[in-house]
Amino acid sequence: MYLPAHFRVDDPAELDALAARDPFATMVTVADGAPFATHLPVLYAREGERVTLRGHWARANPQWRGIETQEALVILHGPHAYVSPTWYADRQRRVPTWNYLAAHLAGRIELHAVDPQDAAGRDALRGIVVELASRFEADRDAAWSMSETGAVGEAMLAGIVGFTFTATRIQFKAKLHDHHPVENRLGVIEGLRAAGSEQERAVADAMTRRLQA
C-alpha cells in the first residue's frame, strides 16, 4: 500500500492492539488470474518477530485451492473517520480527508484437513474452531462449546478447510495527522470526540496516544 514515512508504524505492540480490536480480516489472493477476497475472523498470534493468523474457509470457497503456491495478503482493518477542515486552526488552507489505521500482512499459507484422513490436519482444524469459539464466546453467560455438539460437530469439520498464515512482510499505516501542526491535531481530536460515534472516538484516542508519544 501507499505508505509515506510519517504514517508508518513499526511498533509490534500497536499491531497486537489492532488485531485484538478487530479480528475480522480480509484475505486477498489470485484465482483464475483475478483478485479474490474472503472476509473472515482470524486468531492472531505473535512470538517475537513471527506473526501468524489462523482461521478457516467453507470447503466450497475456492480460495483455498492452490493457495499454498502463492503469496496471500491479509488486511487488518482499524478504526476510521471523516475529518472536516472546520476542525483545523488553519482551515482556509485545508480540504476534507479521512483518518484511519490499517495493516497489510503478506505471507504464506499452510492448509489443515484438506484430506479428511489426515489426523494431524484434522486436529489442527478442530483446534482453530475451538479457539475461535472460545475467543468470541468468552463474554457470554452460557458460552457455546464444540464439545456439546459431539459427533455432529466432528462430522461438520469435513465442510471446512483450516489455515495457518505466516507473515513474511508487514505494513502498518496510521494516517492520523502526524504531519500537521499540533493545533490542527488537537482540533481534529476535539471534533472527532464531539461527533460521538464509536469509530470517531477510537480514531481520536489513537491520535491522542500518538500526540502524547
- Report CA 173 to chain centroid distance, whole Å: 12
The pLDDT value given to residue 174? 97
Element (H, E) at 152: helix 150-156
What are the φ/ψ torsions at residue 210 (nearest 5 degrees)?
-70, -35
The pLDDT value given to residue 117? 81
Show the domains of the chain with their CATH numbers: 5-86+95-179 (2.30.110.10)
Residue 130 in grid coordinates: 475451538
Using CA atoms, how far apart are residues 23 and 26, in angstroms rounded to an integer? 10
Q: What pLDDT tens digit does each residue of the chain (213 aa) get?
A: 999 999 999 999 999 999 999 999 999 999 999 999 999 999 999 999 999 999 999 999 999 999 999 999 999 999 999 999 999 988 888 899 999 999 999 999 999 988 878 889 889 999 999 999 999 888 877 777 777 777 777 888 899 999 999 999 999 999 999 889 999 999 999 999 999 899 999 999 999 999 887
What's the Cα-to-Cα distance from 2 to each of 75, 137, 152, 204, rounded to whole Å?
14, 37, 47, 23
Q: Report the 10 Å Cβ neighbour count for 98.
A: 10
The pLDDT value given to residue 138? 81
Comparing CA positions, the residue from 76, 75, 81, 77 lying closest to residue 177 is 81
The pLDDT value given to residue 143? 75
What's the Cα-to-Cα distance from 118 to each of 15, 121, 149, 158, rounded to whole Å?
33, 5, 21, 11
